[in-house]
Amino acid sequence: MSGHGPEPDGTRSVPLFPLPNVVLFPRAVLPLHIFEPRYIQMTDDALKGERLIAMALLKDGWEKNYYSRPSVEPVVCVGCIASWERLDDGKYNFLLQGLYRARLLKEEPVDLPYRIGQLQSLNETPTMEIDLSTERQHLEDLFQEDLCGMGQLDQQFRHLLASPMTTPDIADLMAFNFIEDVGIKQSLLEEPNVRLRVERTVEVIRHVRQNLKQMARRQNDRPSMN
- CATH number for position 144: 1.20.58
Give the HSE-up count for residue 184: Cα atoms under 13 Å, Cβ half-sphere. 18
Tell which wins on pLDDT, 7 or 53. 53
Grade residue 145 by pLDDT with cuts at 50, 70 and 90.
confident
Q: Are 176 and 185 in contact (CB under 8 A)?
A: yes
| Rounded-to-5 percentages of helix, strand, coil across the chain | 40, 25, 35
Q: Is the pLDDT of residue 55 over 60?
A: yes
pLDDT over threshold 90, residue 165: yes
Say if residue 206's pLDDT is above 90. Answer: yes
Within a domain: residue 168?
A: yes
Verify that 66 and 109 share a domain, yes or no: yes
Looking at the structure, do residues 83 and 145 belong to the same domain, yes or no? Answer: no
**Domain final residue pick, 64, 89, 121:** 121
Task: State how far the alpha carbon of 72 is from the alpha carbons of 17, 19, 27, 163, in Å.
Answer: 10, 9, 22, 36
Closest by Cα among 125, 33, 119, 135 to 72: 119
- Domain end, chosen from 88, 121, 154, is at 121
Q: How many domains does the chain have?
A: 2
Domain annotation covers residue 2: no
Nearest to 19 by CA among 74, 63, 56: 56
CATH number of the domain enclosing 103: 2.30.130.40
Residues 88 and 53 in one domain: yes
What pLDDT does 3 receive?
61
Give the structural domain span for 141.
Answer: 129-221
pLDDT for position 2: 42
Residues 114 and 167 in one domain: no
| Domain termination residue (choose one: 78, 103, 121) | 121
Give the Cβ contact number of residue 81 at 10 Å: 18
Do 17 and 68 lie in one domain? The reply is yes
Mean pLDDT, residues 186-206: 97
Q: Do 134 and 85 share a domain, yes or no?
A: no
HSE (side-chain half, CA atoms, 13 Å) at 202: 19
**Strand partners for 19:** 57
- Please tell me whether residues 98 and 15 are part of one structural domain: yes
Do residues 47 and 88 share a domain? yes
| Angle, vertex CA 22, rays to CA 143 and CA 75, nearest 5 | 100
Would you state the pLDDT for residue 216? 58
Residues 165 and 105 in one domain: no
The β-bridge relationship of strands 75-86 and 52-57 is antiparallel
Cα gap 224→201, rounded to integer Å = 37
Residue 90 domain-assigned (yes or no): yes
Whether residue 83 is contained in a domain is answered as: yes
Strand stretches in the chain, DSSP E: 11-19, 29-34, 52-57, 75-86, 92-107, 115-121
Q: Which residues contact 1 (CB under 8 A, 6 or more apart)?
A: 7, 12
Q: Whole-angstrom Cα distance, residue 226 to residue 107?
A: 62
pTM of this structure: 0.89
Which pLDDT does position 86 carry in this prediction? Answer: 97
d(CA 74, CA 70): 12
Are 142 and 211 part of one and the same domain?
yes
**Whole-number pLDDT of residue 220:** 53
